[in-house]
A and B are shown apart, each in its own frame.
Chain A
C-alpha cells in the first residue's frame, strides 16, 4: 500500500517536471518569436521609401514575388484581394505589401498598375539589388535569379511563396503557405483584429 503511494507520488513528480519543462520551452519559443522583427526599406514606384516601422499599428501581410510570374504570384495576390474584400471595414487595419524580387523589370513594366488590378490596397515595393536582398535576408526567406532560356528575358526567379504576417509592433506572427484559402487567412486575421 505504502509502496503504491510512493510510486504514485513519483509519477506525480515526473508529470510536474515534464509540465514545467514544457512551459519553460513554450515561454522561450514565444520570446524568440516576439524578438523577431523583420525589416525592409524599399521604395514604391513614386520613389517614396517605406520601412516596416511605417506600418506600426497595422497588421502587415508581406509577399515576395515578381510580376513575370503568371501562376503562383497572381494566384496569391487574388487570395490577398479576396481577404481584403472579406475583411470589410477591418481591412483598414491590414496592409498588404508586395516586395519585388525582380525589381528592375517590375519597375519597367509598372508594378503599381499591376497590383492595383488585384486590389487598390496592395502596396508594391521595388528597391535596388542591395535593399531587396536585405529585405529577403531579414525575413529569412529566399529570392534568387536563375538563367533559363525557356523563360521570358532568359531568366526566372525562385522565391519564397508564403505570405508573412507581421503584427502591429512589427513582430513576426506567422506565415500562410502557398495555397492557404482566403477564407482561412481572413478568419485568422479577424481573430487578431
Chain B
C-alpha cells in the first residue's frame, strides 16, 4: 500500500514534468536558441523540416545566415509565403532577429529545409543542427524528432 502510494507520488511528479518538459536551451553571447524540433520522415527521399526559436538579448540586430546538420547534405533557410491563398516556399538568405526580440521558425513561416537527407529521422531521437549567426557565430542544438503529425514543439519554451 505504502509502496504503491509512493510510486503514485513519484509518477505524479514525473509525468507532468515530462509532459511539459522545458525546452533544451543553448545560450551563446546574446543569442539563446531553444525548442528545436523536426518531424519524423519515411525514408530519405523527401526533405525534412527544422523548427526553432531564437532570442536576441543584445542591443543590435543579429542575423541567422545558414544552418548545417550531419543528417542533410543540403540544408537551407526557407520561408512559406502565401499569395492570394496559394502557398509557396522560397529560399531566404538571412533571418533578422531584432534586439530584445525573438523569432520562431515555425509551421507556416520560416523553416529549415533539410534536403538531400542522409538518414531517416526516427521519432523519439535527436540530431544536431548548427545555426550560423553573423555576429555570435555557430550555435549547435539538439533537435527533437517528433511524430509526423506534430504541430508544435513538445516542450515549454522558456521565453
Which residue on chain B has the smallest CB distance to residue A158? B88
By a CB distance below 8 angstroms, the chain B residues around A67 are 46
Tell me the count of chain B residues lying within 8 A, CB to CB, of chain A.
Answer: 34
Answer yes or no: B67 CB below 8 A from chain A CBs.
no
Number of A-B pairs, beta carbon distance below 8 Å = 96
Instruction: Please tell me which one of the listed residues B47, B86, B90 contacts residue A160 in the complex, with CB atoms under 8 A apart.
Output: B86
Answer yes or no: B14 CB below 8 A from chain A CBs.
no
**Contact across chains for A159 and B86 when beta carbons are under 8 A apart:** yes
Answer yes or no: A148 CB below 8 A from chain B CBs.
yes
B-side interface mostly: strand
By a CB distance below 8 angstroms, the chain B residues around A151 are 89, 115
By a CB distance below 8 angstroms, the chain A residues around B108 are 71-72, 75, 178-179
Can you list 20 A-B pairs, Cβ within 8 angstroms, ordered by A? Answer: A69-B89, A70-B39, A70-B48, A71-B89, A71-B108, A72-B87, A72-B108, A78-B148, A78-B151, A114-B42, A118-B149, A150-B78, A151-B115, A157-B88, A158-B86, A159-B86, A159-B88, A161-B82, A161-B85, A178-B82
User: Which chain B residues have a beta carbon within 8 Å of chain A's beta carbons?
Assistant: 39-40, 42-43, 45-49, 74, 76, 78, 80, 82-91, 107-108, 111, 113-116, 148-151
